[in-house]
Structure 1
Amino acid sequence: MDDGPVPLHRLEVPAPHLLPFAIGSFDTIGPLSRAGFPHRHTFYEIVHVTGGTGAHVIDLSRWELRPPHLCFVVPGQVHYWEDVSDLQGVVILFTDDFLLDHPADRDVLRMLGERPWLSLSRADMADLAPLVADMEREYALGRPQFAAVLRAFLHVLILRAARMSGPGGDGDGPGSPRRADAVAQEFVRLLAGPGSGVRSVRSWASQMGVTVGYLNEVVKHVTGRTPGQLVRQTRTHEAKRLLALTDLTVRQVAGEVGFSDPAYFCRYFRRETGLSPSEFRRGSGALHHDYRIPSIDHPRPPA
């Protein structure tokens, strides 16, 4: 490997009204889905490996293929496939904006990206294989509201994967790695609830029966971000979701996410996203309309 810059791949969505999601086989998605050179993404990738030999290298960790596996690659991670042969499975690609219904999934995915390679038992396959097949079928058919159905399926897939991954470490005492991981994951789960972004970190710590300092420590250790950053992120994603998926006015959206002053909400939103609420809404048509990405659509048989 040379010392040049690592290529950065983007999920190409050629127009703002197209769906920031794709699912298919390695052949359908294309040769970059099994690229043998180090690269990174601006999007998430979940790979359900069902066959093949070789290895998958993620952030310098080498994982031998002994299918079935479930693999997670999050934005910024460097990965590539090494000496693979007869690679089979399903590749799922999506951007941050596809997670607006369930913003806390971003942090679950980040944690899964730290333990990216799950070997699947027979019971795990019984849980996952039909779900992945349902996602492929829903995407291929493109029926009304299929994007909403795909977002729901994806949410279930992420939660099931987190349950399979489980907390690490030994022991369950208050200072153990397992306890710290469990507290951090519980905080992330609670943030998925309605109205969670308007609550203070202190109120969350009180509800969970831990100190603010402990919550800060374990959440930062597990997720790489502070509880305050995650709360702001959740608040921002809820605002994005309301702007993209409802017809509420900007004033009404501000009220829904805890801002009494719409002007302050606009300043906050621009600081967090780089866009005004109106600019974001104009560019978020992908979540209003169920369109497909032509470059990776399955060809339809003639009528």
Structure 2
Amino acid sequence: MAKVPVIEQCVVSHGLNQEIMIEGLADYLVRNVNLVFPHRHNFYHFVLFTAGSGSHTIDFEKFEIAPWQIYFMSPGQIHTWEFEGEMQGYVVNFHKDLFKNLLLRPDYLNTLSFFSGLVRDGVFEVAENDRELVVELLERIRNFEGEKDFVTSTLLYLFNLLNQQRVPSLSVESNAYNHTLLRNFLNLIEANFKSLHLPKEYAALLYITPNHLNALCKELLGQSAGEIIRDRVILEAKRLLVIKDYSVAEIAYDLNFNDNSYFTKFFKKVVGVTPEEFRKNK
């Protein structure tokens, strides 16, 4: 079985700007006609569909394509697509360090809802009253692609516009606090999910009680804190399982499970099949 390859920015952006690339979806697909197998990126990536149909899968979650759907992906996520008919829209790829010297907050992208690491946050439909402006901004970026300062500032404006569609009004101070707390929790999971598996460990890092953390997660995400941590561990296990170089025992060790059998029971309870069966079906 072949491993899931990592696609480099220079491969899909051949002959184009290596820090940021924006291209019409139809032209992008002509250049990358063979890019239909499951793969990962080492860069940030988003696509806006304006016409066409089919499906795309991100980190093992499948989505049906509809006009004005947009999806965002962070480096490391696994995806593939199956398009039907004539596809129209925009593809944007940008280097993970594009904003490094521009922003005071190096973690800015992680504060955006669609780069949270939760797949369900990264796929949504652009609000009807913003569609014309979104296209206008993408066209501006495409027309001035060589002018980095203009491109990055315009891209940040686009992100802020789209993020406002995704985040409920934070005018009430308690809501702002809760959303910041949740974002910090998700960031902590991303940094520590291999070593910290318990809600109480994250609650301690956030200086709140486990009950407070659990109530917050249920209110804003509809899941318990433990389920959110568990899902991130399972996602990493799935990613490693489709990278065929790793044995199940190695994956269990990497994810800090005491033994292989306990990891297998944990995985089967959540996913419904054993790690070996999951790998065989992918």
Q: TM-score range by the shorter chain?
A: 0.5 to 0.7
SS at match of 1:98: coil
Higher RCO (CA-CA < 8 Å; seq separation 6+): 1
Gaps of 5+ in 2: 187-204, 218-224, 230-282
SS at match of 2:3: coil
1:4 equivalent in alignment to 2:7: no
Provide the aligned C-alpha RMSD in A.
Answer: 3.8
> Which residue does the alignment assign to 1:247?
none
- Please tell me the residue identity of whatever aligns with 1:66: A
Q: TM-score, normalised by structure 2?
A: 0.55
1:130 equivalent in alignment to 2:133: no
What is the distance in 1 between the residues matched to 2:44 and 2:33? Answer: 12
1:179-220 per-residue CA deviation (whole Å, 9 max, x = no partner) reads 6435445999xxxxxxxxxxxxxxxxxxxxxx941399689x
1:4-46 per-residue CA deviation (whole Å, 9 max, x = no partner) reads 31111010189xxx74111111243354388321111000001
1:146-186 per-residue CA deviation (whole Å, 9 max, x = no partner) reads 11000101111112221112259xxx997x9x964354459
1:195-248 per-residue CA deviation (whole Å, 9 max, x = no partner) reads xxxxxxxxxxxxxxxx941399689x7x99xxxxxxxxxxxxxxxxxxxxxxxx
> Which residue does the alignment assign to 2:99?
99
- Shift of residue 127 of structure 1? 3.2
SS at match of 1:133: helix
> Which residue does the alignment assign to 2:152?
151
Identity %: 22
- Shift of residue 124 of structure 1? 2.5
- Please tell me the residue identity of whatever aligns with 2:73: V
- Please tell me the residue identity of whatever aligns with 2:48: H
- Please tell me the residue identity of whatever aligns with 2:159: I
> Which residue does the alignment assign to 1:63?
63
Given that 2:126 and 2:162 are in contact with CA atoms closer than 8 Å, whether structure 1 keeps it comes out as no
> Which residue does the alignment assign to 1:25?
24
1:88-119 per-residue CA deviation (whole Å, 9 max, x = no partner) reads 11111111121221333321252176312111
- Please tell me the residue identity of whatever aligns with 1:160: L
> Which residue does the alignment assign to 2:123?
117
What is the distance in 1 between the residues matched to 2:208 and 2:58? Answer: 31
The one of 184, 198, 207 equivalent to 1:213 is 207
1:160 equivalent in alignment to 2:165: no
Given that 1:71 and 1:117 are in contact with CA atoms closer than 8 Å, whether structure 2 keeps it comes out as yes
What is the distance in 2 between the residues matched to 1:187 and 1:60? Answer: 23
What is the distance in 1 between the residues matched to 2:88 and 2:48? Answer: 9
- Please tell me the residue identity of whatever aligns with 1:60: F
Q: TM-score, normalised by structure 1?
A: 0.52
What is the distance in 2 between the residues matched to 1:5 and 1:85? Answer: 29
Given that 1:73 and 1:113 are in contact with CA atoms closer than 8 Å, whether structure 2 keeps it comes out as no
Q: Aligned pair in 2 of structure 1 residues 173, 94: CA closer, same or farther (>3 Å)? A: closer
- Shift of residue 137 of structure 1? 1.3
- Please tell me the residue identity of whatever aligns with 2:61: S
Q: Aligned pair in 2 of structure 1 residues 104, 44: CA closer, same or farther (>3 Å)? A: same
> Which residue does the alignment assign to 2:264?
none
What is the distance in 1 between the residues matched to 2:34 and 2:85? Answer: 10
What is the distance in 2 between the residues matched to 1:29 and 1:80? Answer: 15
> Which residue does the alignment assign to 1:265?
none
**Count, aligned residues:** 185
> Which residue does the alignment assign to 1:277?
none
What is the distance in 2 between the residues matched to 1:187 and 1:155? Answer: 24
SS at match of 1:87: strand
Given that 1:33 and 1:91 are in contact with CA atoms closer than 8 Å, whether structure 2 keeps it comes out as no
- Shift of residue 131 of structure 1? 1.0
Q: Aligned pair in 2 of structure 1 residues 25, 136: CA closer, same or farther (>3 Å)? A: same
Given that 1:72 and 1:113 are in contact with CA atoms closer than 8 Å, whether structure 2 keeps it comes out as no
Given that 1:41 and 1:76 are in contact with CA atoms closer than 8 Å, whether structure 2 keeps it comes out as yes
What is the distance in 2 between the residues matched to 1:120 and 1:12? Answer: 29
- Shift of residue 61 of structure 1? 1.2
Given that 2:45 and 2:93 are in contact with CA atoms closer than 8 Å, whether structure 1 keeps it comes out as yes
Given that 1:56 and 1:63 are in contact with CA atoms closer than 8 Å, whether structure 2 keeps it comes out as yes
What is the distance in 1 between the residues matched to 2:8 and 2:63? Answer: 24
Q: Aligned pair in 2 of structure 1 residues 90, 33: CA closer, same or farther (>3 Å)? A: farther
- Please tell me the residue identity of whatever aligns with 1:159: N
What is the distance in 2 between the residues matched to 1:25 and 1:104? Answer: 29
